[in-house]
Amino acid sequence: MNKKDSIWKMHVGFGLVCVCMVGLVARVAYLHLGPHDNFRNAVRKNQKVEKTIVALRGSILDCKGDKNVLAMNVRAKDVCVDPDAIVKSNKVAEVTTTLAQSLKLEQHDVFKNVNQPGKRFACVQKGVQDDLAEAIRKKKLMGVFLQDATVRNYPQGSFLCHVMGFVNNEGVGSAGVEQYCNRSLTGSAGRVETKVNALRQELYLERRRYVAPNEGHDVVLTIDQNMQYMVEKELDEAMAQHRAKAAWCIIQRVRTGEILAMGSRPGYDLNRFYDAGDDELLNRTIGNNYEPGSTFKAITFSAAFNEGVVKQEQMFDCEDGAWMFAGRILHDYHRYGMLTVADGLKKSSNIMTVKIANILGEKRVYTYMKAFGIGEKTGIDLPGEERGLLSNPSKWSKLSIGRIPIGQGVSVTSLQLLGVYAAIANDGYLMKPYVISEIRDKEGKVTYKGQPEVMARPISAETSALMRRLLARVTEEGGTGTKARIEGYEVAGKTGTAEKAVNGVYPPGVVVASFVGFFPAESPEVAMVFVVDEPQALHTGGVVAAPSFGKIGAQVVRYLDIQPSEYALASVKK
């Protein structure tokens, strides 16, 4: 290679270097000057976020209002992660261990959320209390951030669970009052335009366009917490004593239809609703159809007196306890001969009830049952109500008039049955039951007010007064409901012992035992039904359910300051 060639190659090399340098400078200039505004706007756009401000769900209160809070929301934080950022920074192990320890979670569960390359969001734990959330924030873990949230809290756990219902993981009411009043309780979320830093933490000084949330309204119930406690305590004791499958009870104010207590067993912890099965979730007071047995006889007797087809002193032959009707033998629990109508109700004669029903005829029997609300929903302000089963007389067999009037071949809910007795106690007026007393906003303004509503008047005041006297005799000596008595008070009511169908058959000894009634009989204020499903050993309503009715009733009259009777209810006039 000569000197001339070397010089030429040096010039070529120098030229190439110059070209590269010019290109590099041009690129830098382009990046610095050309797209600067676009890049800056992109950065700004990435920093801007619109955040939802969660509205606090309204509280649920008992009849005493703010004194007794049954459900409330508290502000909290959701602990969230940016998995991709954590993976790229090689912080998976550190974040997993720290969050698992702080939140008391299993490490493998946290690891599943954290170790997700390419994913930008995952929620590790919802509803973390503020003090714990703040401790996590101070650790400044890569890719870990907090979001505003609220947590539904039920301070008393399983108390009043079937009336209350619960809020699911999406924040939606899913049973009971929580579901029925979900729209009022929820309110509406607010929003704010703001900025976040690289750790996705909000820069509060950069907030713009703030729209405050509208907090949810509070719901005040007709339920009295103290009376509810009486009911639930007795339900638990009855379940244990009789080794029953289930038990339930309702207390209603006679004149208004207000539900003062409503309990069902088995129950569940509202704070852990996800652990409950269908059996625990079922509100049996309104969601369980069953044959009412002898408690149903009050409708036939009321109809007969109201129509004037029988008199209380009229005699009927009860056939020594066995009577052939429509090709089948109808039995009484005891062998009775001639009884007055008054004594037939007192001693719960099936035979007399069916004979009276035949005098009335199918059409009138059915009409009165419908007038008392049988076969229709009561319209109570709770979800999940069943309507029972009462077929039209056009579908009745010859035997139906011998079964339906004594509570067989017909299904009711306990709330329907309670309505029948409350109507008898209330001069014949059938009231619509309700559990929501009022709904009010956070300033205390009432936006809804529950009001007494008359649904029907199936019987007259005169018939009502007569039935009150006759039903009071059921709890006197010789009646089937003596164990429902309350010392110093006249109690009116009826026992029921109904065979229970299981898979289409009636196994021997499998029954639903009940007592339904009201007190004081002469001037009723409170009606109550108590039901025990599949009690073991003891079976009859008079032995199983009536004592529980009496025990609760004795507490209720003291609590409500119902004055004792000054004299025993006058004997039925002959």
187-207 pLDDT, tens per residue?
888 887 766 665 555 555 566
Query: Would you say residue 571 has pLDDT above 80?
Result: no
C-alpha to C-alpha distances, 389 to 302, 436, 549, nearest whole angstrom: 20, 27, 26
Give the pLDDT confidence score for residue 203 in this predicted structure. Answer: 56
- The answer to whether the CB of 301 falls within 8 A of the CB of 307 is no
Report pTM. Answer: 0.85
Kindly report, residue by residue over 74-101, the tens digit of the pLDDT.
Answer: 888 999 999 999 999 999 999 999 999 9
Say whether pLDDT at 3 is over 70. Answer: no
Residue 207 confidence (pLDDT): 62
In contact, 470 and 489? CB cutoff 8 Å: no
- The strand pair at 430-431 and 65-81 is best described as unpaired
- Establish whether 437 is a catalytic residue: no
> Span 252-263, mean pLDDT?
99
The predicted pLDDT at position 67 comes to 82
pLDDT value at position 37? 53
- Read off the pLDDT band of 343 (50, 70, 90): very high
Q: Is 401 helix (H, G, I), strand (E, B) or coil?
A: helix
pLDDT per position as a tens digit, 69-78: 999 988 889 9
Task: Give the model confidence (pLDDT) of 419-457 as tens digits.
Answer: 999 999 999 999 999 999 999 999 999 999 999 999 999
pLDDT at 573: 42
- Report the 10 Å Cβ neighbour count for 126: 16
pLDDT (tens digit, 9 = 90+) per residue, 267-303?
A: 999 999 999 999 999 999 999 999 999 999 999 999 9
Calculate what percentage of the chain has a pLDDT beyond 70: 87
Position 53, amino acid: I
DSSP 495: E
Q: How many CA atoms lie within 13 A of 571 on its CB side?
A: 5
Question: What do you get for the CA distance between the two ends of the chain, in Å?
Answer: 147
Separation in Å, CA 289 to CA 244, 305, 387, 486: 17, 28, 8, 29
Residue 506: which H helix or E strand, with range?
none
As a dihedral over the C-alpha atoms of residue 137, residue 141, residue 144, residue 149, rounded to 10 degrees, the angle is -10
431 and 452 Cβ atoms separated by less than 8 Å: yes
DSSP assignment letter at 337: -
Q: Look up residue 192 and give its two tokens.
A: 């704010």
Q: Which residues contact 229 (CB under 8 A, 6 or more apart)?
A: 159
CA distances for 559 relative to 525, 552, 553, angstroms: 13, 11, 10
Question: Is the peptide bond prior to 266 cis by the omega test (within 30 degrees of 0)?
Answer: yes
Report which secondary-structure segment, H or E, holds 362.
Answer: helix 362-371
Q: DSSP per residue over 405-416, as a string?
A: GGTSS-BB-HHH
φ, ψ of residue 24 to 5 degrees: the values are: -65, -45
Q: Three-state DSSP class for 397?
A: coil
What is the number of residues in the chain?
574
**SS3 for 371?**
helix
Higher pLDDT, 5 or 106: 106
Whether the link from the prior residue into 452 is cis, omega within 30° of 0, is no
What digits encode the pLDDT tens for the residues 149-175?
A: 888 999 999 999 999 999 998 889 999
Percent of the chain with pLDDT over 90: 77
Q: What is the pLDDT of residue 561?
A: 97
* 215 three-state secondary structure: coil
Which residue out of 59, 102, 264, 294 is catalytically annotated? Answer: 294
Q: Which residue has the tokens 């149903």?
A: 296
The answer for residues whose C-beta is within 8 angstroms of residue 199's C-beta and 6 or more apart is 140, 142, 143, 145
Calculate mean pLDDT across residues 401-410. 97
133 to 120, 129, 139: CA distances (angstroms):
20, 6, 10
Contact between 261 and 227 (Cβ < 8 Å): yes
Q: Which helix (H) or strand (E) holds 316?
A: strand 315-317
Q: How far is CA 320 from the centre of its chain?
A: 47
Query: What pLDDT score was predicted for residue 148?
Result: 82
Phi-psi region of 200 (alpha: psi -120 to 50; beta: other; left: phi over 0): left
Tokens, residue 187: 């309110």
DSSP 476: S
Per-residue pLDDT, 191 = 80
Query: In CATH, what number does 225-559 get?
Result: 3.40.710.10
Could you give the CA distance from residue 258 to residue 562 in angstroms, rounded to a whole number?
Answer: 17
